[in-house]
């Protein structure tokens, strides 16, 4: 187009810019499409993270449920005989009292019949103890141990400065437990007047008692 034609037919600058920039329009569409894809990717990643979090929470809850179920089964198995075992402790006590009631001198001078009877009582007492132990019932004989209020019951104090205060010096009655459940606490006498026992938690004083 000549200069005279341009003068007769002036060109719109905006139209000329649009006609001369096809690549710019295509580039703008590409940028918009890319932004849209990135937005979709971000949304999908957010959904994946949310689903992963839900899965982990569900898995953790299932593990907790499984552990609780296993613990309940173990407790039911371990403590199902607690009532029966507690009643059998009276039998064990009576057998022990029967043996303790016989003076050693009398036992030594006893005839064969009495000796056989005493041996039978001792055998019965040992078998009863083995049977209780077989079913998870353990004997609490804490002589020389540190007093533990969870398993022992203090009946009196014994002055003794040769051992740490709170040491079990005498067992009046043996105790029994199943696992961490006490069937009967051991009745004990504890020492007093000696040095304080060393803390069991690395130097910090246990104030939970």
pLDDT for 21 = 46
pLDDT for 26 = 54
- State the DSSP code for 124: H
| DSSP SS3 for 102 | coil
Q: What does the pLDDT look like over 192-208, one tens digit per residue?
A: 987 876 665 544 434 33
pLDDT band for 114, please (50, 70, 90 cuts): confident
Q: Is the pLDDT of residue 29 over 80?
A: no
CATH class of the domain whose range is 138-192 = mainly beta
Instruction: Please name the helix (run of DSSP H) or strand (run of DSSP E) that holds residue 173, with its range, or none.
Output: strand 168-173
Cα torsion for 42, 43, 44, 45, to the nearest 10°?
50
Percentage, residues of the chain above pLDDT 90: 28
Distance CA 138, CA 130 (A): 10
Instruction: Check: CB of residue 191 under 8 Å from CB of residue 169.
Output: yes
Highest mean pLDDT among 61-70, 108-117, 164-173: 164-173
pLDDT for 205 = 36
How far is CA 96 from each of CA 20, 36, 108, 187, rounded to the nearest angstrom?
113, 87, 18, 16
Distance CA 195, CA 73 (A): 44
Kindly report the average pLDDT of the chain as a whole number. Answer: 80
Name the residue with higher pLDDT: 19 or 47.
Answer: 47
Q: Is the pLDDT of residue 32 over 60?
A: yes
pTM, rounded to two decimals = 0.55
Q: What does the pLDDT look like over 48-94, one tens digit per residue?
A: 888 888 889 988 988 898 888 888 787 777 677 788 888 888 898 89
Give mean pLDDT, residues 189-194.
89
Q: Is the pLDDT of residue 121 over 50?
A: yes
pLDDT band for 135, please (50, 70, 90 cuts): confident
How far is CA 82 from each of CA 73, 129, 132, 184, 192, rounded to the nearest angstrom?
15, 15, 10, 11, 34
Give mean pLDDT, residues 183-199.
86
């Amino acid at each position: 187009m000549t200069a005279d034609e341009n003068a007769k037919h002036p060109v719109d600058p905006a139209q000329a810019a649009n006609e001369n920039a096809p690549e710019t329009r295509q580039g703008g569409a590409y940028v918009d499409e890319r932004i849209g894809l990135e937005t979709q990717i971000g949304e999908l990643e957010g959904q994946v993270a949310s689903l992963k979090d839900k899965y982990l929470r569900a898995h953790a809850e299932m593990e907790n449920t499984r552990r609780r179920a296993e613990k309940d089964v173990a407790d039911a198995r371990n403590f199902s005989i607690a009532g029966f075992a507690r009643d059998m402790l009276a039998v064990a006590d009576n057998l022990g009292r029967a043996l303790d009631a016989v003076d050693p001198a009398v036992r030594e001078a006893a005839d064969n019949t009495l000796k056989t009877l005493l041996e039978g009582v001792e055998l019965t007492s040992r078998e009863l103890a083995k049977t209780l132990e077989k079913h998870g019932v353990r004997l609490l004989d804490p002589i020389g141990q540190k007093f533990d209020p969870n398993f022992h019951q203090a009946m009196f104090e014994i002055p003794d400065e040769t051992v740490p205060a709170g040491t079990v010096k005498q067992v009046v009655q043996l105790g029994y437990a199943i696992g961490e459940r006490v069937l009967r606490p051991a009745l004990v006498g504890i020492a007093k007047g000696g040095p304080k026992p060393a803390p069991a938690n690395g130097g910090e004083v246990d104030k939970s008692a």
